[in-house]
Structure 1
Amino acid sequence: MNAAAIDTSTPRLRDFPYRLRDNVRFGDLDPNQHVNNAVYATYFETGRVTLMKDPQYGLMLPGFAWIMVRLDMHFRAELRWPGQIELGLGVARFGRTSVTCDQVVFSEGRCIASAQAVMVLIDEETRKPAPLTAELISALQPWLRRGVKGTRPDLA
């Protein structure tokens, strides 16, 4: 069996340098009156897109776009409405054309869900993967997850 090992340790919000607050919406609930599992993908997307699209961070280069190629989620606790959540994101790894981010959803100091997301940089004209630029790698440095070292992409 070649399945990837699942990290069962409980994430700490302080290890995620990018943070964003949001609300649990009534429409997020399923018939069991807790947040539906599919909604967590939207929470994680909100965290990523809010960071990546903010012009002050320089993560969107003209002629290039980020596409999601993988999202692995771990559901850790129930989340109910009403409530507030805090989203956390930290860059975990660089590939030649990709960035892997660890993400969390916290509520009332408790980790409700975690995820690992892989985004690939593509050329908008050719729609093909494009190598990460030194500029992008530099702009992503402030968002490295606590404990992550290194600044150059993995070339393997």
Structure 2
Amino acid sequence: MNAPLTSDASPRLEDFPYRISDNVRFADLDPNQHVNNAVYATYFETGRVTLVKDRSHGLMPEGLSWMLVRLDMHFRSELRWPGTIEMGLGLVKFGRTSVTLDQVVFSEDKCVASAQAVTVLIEEATRKPTRLTSEIVRNFQPWRRRGVNVASPKF
């Protein structure tokens, strides 16, 4: 039996505090002349990576990195070329070593795809998961998805 779909029926871009814009590329299209479903994983990756790798946000201290362990995507509407997209991201859950992020792709004020991503904090030297630090948890606070109660992890 399939798990019930827990994503919003219609996400609102304003509920996602981290946003970034991009262009739909001709190379993103498949033979059906719409954006190929695999390309959405790249759009979602762009949102996550530009947030955490920006050292000014303090989400990736020296010697630590994030590894994607789960990505659940929901394709909502066709996306075609040419066009621009607005990607949104919001934190929805802290784990012991992980964070869960809701992500969206909007085009022309319409949500065309959404996803939930789970990323695990790892030590770069050992490639093993490591506990979230209080500093990382504090630095994620501005990126909490609006309208979602995000419980802080217990240290």
TM range (shorter): over 0.9
Amino acid at match of 2:91: V
Amino acid at match of 2:4: A
Q: Deviations over 1:124-147 (max 9, x none)?
A: 122111000000000000000001
Moved over 6 A (4+): none
**3-state DSSP of counterpart to 1:5:** coil
State the distance in 1 between where 2:150 and 2:110 align.
29
Do structure 1's residue 130 and structure 2's residue 130 form an aligned pair?
yes
Cα offset, 1:101, TM superposition = 0.1
**1:52 alignment partner in structure 2:** 52
State the distance in 1 between where 2:116 and 2:42 align.
14
Cα offset, 1:100, TM superposition = 0.2
**2:17 alignment partner in structure 1:** 17
**1:5 alignment partner in structure 2:** 4
State the distance in 2 between where 1:150 and 1:43 align.
24
State the distance in 1 between where 2:77 and 2:154 align.
33
**3-state DSSP of counterpart to 2:39:** helix
Task: Select between 3-12 and 58-67 the one with higher mean Cα deviation.
Answer: 3-12
Cα offset, 1:4, TM superposition = 2.9
Q: Deviations over 1:44-79 (max 9, x none)?
A: 000000011111101111111100000000000000
**2:62 alignment partner in structure 1:** 62
**1:148 alignment partner in structure 2:** 148
State the distance in 2 between where 1:115 and 1:150 align.
17
Q: How does 1:86-101 map to 2 (within 5 A)?
A: 86-101=86-101
Is the 1:76–1:114 Cα contact (8 Å) retained in structure 2?
A: yes
**2:114 alignment partner in structure 1:** 114
TM-score (norm. length: structure 1): 0.95
Q: Give the superposed CA RMSD.
A: 1.3
Taking a change above 3 Å as real, the CA distance of residues 154 and 31 of structure 1, as seen in their structure-2 partners, is: farther
Cα offset, 1:36, TM superposition = 0.2
Task: Select between 57-66 and 94-103 the one with higher mean Cα deviation.
Answer: 57-66
TM-score (norm. length: structure 2): 0.95
State the distance in 1 between where 2:150 and 2:33 align.
43
In structure 1, list runs of 5 or more residues that go unmatched. Answer: none
In structure 2, list runs of 5 or more residues that go unmatched. Answer: none
Taking a change above 3 Å as real, the CA distance of residues 151 and 137 of structure 1, as seen in their structure-2 partners, is: farther
Task: Select between 4-13 and 119-128 the one with higher mean Cα deviation.
Answer: 4-13
State the distance in 1 between where 2:44 and 2:56 align.
20
